[in-house]
């Protein structure tokens, strides 16, 4: 089961332009970059801020790129056995 980070709610203030500042710890945890698109979802009495689908896909690509291939590792392991 995936561990869910639960922190105490943090108050943010809406600027005259309608902007809010996301706490730095949350920006780091989720890898939010300047100019990145986020979505605001109206949950009927509460607002939910979520990363756009494109941002989630980009992060997943980053996790999969540049690492060793699982297939190659399995084939190498198989070659070692008689």
Number of domains in the chain: 1
Dihedral angle computed from the Cα positions of residues 62, 29, 48 and 54, in that order, rounded to the nearest 10 degrees: -10
The pLDDT, as a whole number, for residue 19 is 93
Average pLDDT per consecutive 10 residues, the chain (82 residues; last block may be shorter): 69 93 90 87 89 69 63 75 65
Which range marks the domain in which residue 63 is found? 1-82
The pLDDT, as a whole number, for residue 29 is 87
The pLDDT, as a whole number, for residue 17 is 96
The pLDDT, as a whole number, for residue 18 is 94
* CB 38, CB 19: distance < 8 Å: no
List the CATH number of the domain containing 8.
Answer: 2.10.260.10
The pLDDT, as a whole number, for residue 50 is 86
The pLDDT, as a whole number, for residue 73 is 74
The pLDDT, as a whole number, for residue 9 is 81
């Amino acid at each position: 089961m995936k561990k869910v980070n639960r922190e105490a709610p943090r108050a943010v203030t809406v600027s005259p332009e309608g902007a809010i500042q996301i706490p730095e710890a949350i920006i780091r945890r989720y890898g939010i970059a300047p100019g990145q698109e986020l979505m605001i979802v109206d949950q009927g009495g509460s607002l939910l801020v979520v990363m756009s689908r494109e941002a989630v896909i980009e992060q997943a690509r980053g996790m999969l790129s540049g690492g060793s291939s699982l297939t190659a590792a399995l084939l190498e392991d198989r070659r070692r056995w008689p």
